[in-house]
Every structure is written in structure tokens, then in C-alpha cells.
Structure 1
């Protein structure tokens, strides 16, 4: 890959890493959305690169801050998300194309509705949710990941509603998405699906991601917890619209 081709990818990775460090999510979503949307690299390649550089992002973002994390919440969410990814993959195989499109639209509408309603009420819950609710959010996130490659919405919504500190929320989300990225990367490596091109792009991107993460740690944007919640819920609206759009376009194709 030439420098001209690699430069916009690296800039996107830097911006996505900064965003994930200050919010706890978004690296994969931004990287895949922008790079594939601009046709800078194949979706499969950039998705794998995003998984690999997520490990670098977490390695720089989490040290010294893990004591802020509610580990029971993370444990139950992780227990839910890992096996349910398989359920999502299997469910997608059994759905017809039409049924998959309808489900895409419905899920997108639900995610958008959740983002809209929460954005108007950005205050946290008065008490921490039960461990079962974190397990359920993990299960829903895993199914979404298996079916559509989008695991974030249920987990983002669940954690940002909690009476946790902002640093605790984003570190918890970074840790969970790092675990899922690690499992996905290990599985793809076992299947021999990590190409030399993917490794080359990832190796080139790691220093950029590390630098962007350090910048985000040192100079985060001056957002209050309420403003951060509004930002997270706004992103959920975008994700919801993105899930709905393919189904809508298919109706008029």
C-alpha cells in the first residue's frame, strides 16, 4: 500500500482512537464506516485492522485507571456477549434475505428510539442496575455483533445510564470491546484469515493509534458527564440510522 493510500487510513485511525479513548467506544465503527465509505480499503481488511489496533488503544488507555471500573458489571456483560456472538451468526444463516432486511430495520429503529429518548433525559439512573441487566445487555450486544457486526448499542446504552463516573464508564467499555476484539482476532488467526496486507496496515497504524490515545488521555475534551451522555446517545442515533438505511434502500431497489 502506497503512502498516499495509507495516509487517510492512518488519519481515520487516529481520530477513531481519540474518540474511543474519551468515550469508551467507536474505534471500529468510525474506522470501518469512513474507510469503507470512501473505498480506501476492503471492509474485511479494515475490520480486522480495527480489531488489531483496538488492542494497542486499550494498552495505552487503560493502565492506571482500571480501579475505576465496576468489575462485576464488566464480568456479566462479557459472559453475555461472547457466546451470543455465535447465536447471532447462526441466526443470520437461517434468515432469508427479506427477513434479515426487516430485522435490520427493526433493530435500527429500536436503537435510534433508545438514543433519542435517552438524549432528552441524559441523567443517570438513581441506582446501579442489576447484574442480570448487564448480562442481558451483553447477550443483546453479542447477537447484534454476530448478525450485523455492531455490538455497541446495548452496552453503550446500559453503561452510560449507570451512576458511574465517566472514567469508569469509558474504561469498562474499552475493556469489554478489547476482550471481544481479542477473541475475534484469535479466531481469525486460527482460521488463517489475517493477510499480510492486514498485518502491514495494522503495524503501520499502531504507533499512530498509540499517539492519538496518549493525546486523548492528556488533553481530553472539556465535556461534562451529562454532555458525554448526550454525545453517546447521539452516536446511538447514527448507528440506528445506519442499520435502517440498507433496509430502506433495498425497498426501493
Structure 2
């Protein structure tokens, strides 16, 4: 049973890693939505594996690029994210018991909302950078979703895609924040004593997949623009989110 579940799980991880390596986001949403749609493993289980593989993917992609970022923006976003993550973990524990259908509905709405928000507008150099408080609020909302589903991307995608940054810089910002959030979430779950042997086995099996796909995406990117990849991710998220609601 473990192998029958692990193989499709790894295939989903591979696709999601490739999309995130190119676009800078969507790994958590693609994996969580697809795995939950097929009912492979529980949401709490998937969240731990996503945190682990997101951590590895982020390390590989942002290595040597952190100097390009405004560290104050990253720190403000993370400062809002950490308390939100506590709230999200509590909600996950509460809803996983008797309200699993509600949990899946929230997941589906979050995925669809993320797809719509990112496709409405593209980054533009003439826009003004948002106020610092905006990044703090986005971090809190992201932390709640991170705690519940290990997919804190939607609020961050919404905010960062409205900044006067290049698409590549936005990708680095998102991956840097995901790096910090993944470490934080794994630490919190570990301190709560909720890590299991199967979670660690799945994570260990998926890490080589993540590293391999990340290397391929970095050295042999697809012959399409980041904007086209973003639109592809949008379509994929719409299908996944709709299937969850259905």
C-alpha cells in the first residue's frame, strides 16, 4: 500500500516542482490539491511532505541570489507569517477531526482564488511599491494557509505580482519566503510531536525527485516565457480547485 501511494505521490511532486522552479510558486497548491482530490493521504500528512520538498526546492533555486532582495520586505512578511502559522495549525487540527469536508472546501476556494488573483494583473514597472504594512498583512494570511495546508502562496502571489518588480525577482522573493516558512512549519510540527515515520519516508523519497527536477528546470528551462508558465499554472490550479469543490 505504501508503494502504491508513494509512486503517484512522487509523480505529482515532480510536476509541481517543475512549475514552481520556473514560476516561483504553486508547488504546495498543486501537490495539496491533487493529492487531496485523489484521496491518497490525509491533508496533515501531505502538508509535512510539502514543507520538506519546498525547503529543498527553495535552497536549490535561491542559492547565491538572496543579495538581490530587499531584506526588509522579506523580514516583514515572515514576521506576519509566524503567528499566522500557529493559527493555521490549530485550525487544521480542529477541522481534520469532524469537519474534513469543510477543510477540503476551504482548500478548493483558496486554490481557485490564488489562480484568479495571479492572472488578473501582471507586474508593471510603473507601479509603486506597496506600503510595508501590506507585506505584514499578506504574511499573516499566508501563515494561516501555511499552517493549514502548507500552501501559503495565494496571499503572497496576490501582493508580489502587484509590485514594480521583474517576474524573476518576484520568483526569488516567493522562494525565499517559502524557504523560511517551510523551516518554521516543520519545526512547529516537530515540537508538537506530529511527525511520523511514514511522513519521513515520503519526504526522503521525494527529495531526490525535487533536486533532480529543480536541476533540470534551472539548466534546461522550457522555451516559453515566465508569463506563459504563469498562465499554465493558472489553468492547472483552476482544474484542481474545481475538482475539490465538486
Pick the TM interval, shorter chain: 0.7 to 0.9
Q: In 1, are the aligned partners of 2:14 and 2:209 still within 8 Å (CA)?
A: yes
Distance 1:108 1:176 in 2: 23
**Alpha-carbon shift at residue 146 of structure 1 (Å):** 4.3
Q: In 2, are the aligned partners of 1:119 and 1:234 still within 8 Å (CA)?
A: no
Superposition map of 1:65-84 within 5 A: 65-84=65-84
Superposition map of 1:127-146 within 5 A: 127-146=128-147
Q: Which residue of the partner structure matches residue 196 of structure 1? A: 197
Superposition map of 1:213-228 within 5 A: 213-228=214-229
CA 171–44 in structure 1, closer or farther in 2 if over 3 Å, else same: same
Distance 1:242 1:143 in 2: 23
Q: In 2, are the aligned partners of 1:111 and 1:153 still within 8 Å (CA)?
A: no
Q: Greater CA radius of gyration, 1 or 2?
A: 1
Distance 2:110 2:118 in 1: 14
Superposition map of 1:145-156 within 5 A: 145-146=146-147, 150-156=151-157
The reply on whether 1:52 has 2:59 as its aligned counterpart is no
Distance 2:156 2:162 in 1: 10
Distance 1:109 1:47 in 2: 15
CA 219–2 in structure 1, closer or farther in 2 if over 3 Å, else same: same
Gap runs ≥5 in structure 1: none
Q: Which residue of the partner structure matches residue 62 of structure 1? A: 62
Distance 2:177 2:115 in 1: 21
Distance 1:118 1:42 in 2: 27
Gap runs ≥5 in structure 2: none
SS of 2:195's equivalent in the other structure is coil
Q: Which residue of the partner structure matches residue 6 of structure 1? A: 6
Q: Which residue of the partner structure matches residue 164 of structure 1? A: 165
**TM-score, length of structure 1 as denominator length:** 0.77
Provide the aligned C-alpha RMSD in A.
3.4
Q: In 1, are the aligned partners of 2:49 and 2:202 still within 8 Å (CA)?
A: yes
Distance 1:6 1:84 in 2: 30
**Alpha-carbon shift at residue 186 of structure 1 (Å):** 0.9
**TM-score, length of structure 2 as denominator length:** 0.79
CA 186–234 in structure 1, closer or farther in 2 if over 3 Å, else same: same
**Alpha-carbon shift at residue 211 of structure 1 (Å):** 0.4
**Alpha-carbon shift at residue 182 of structure 1 (Å):** 1.0
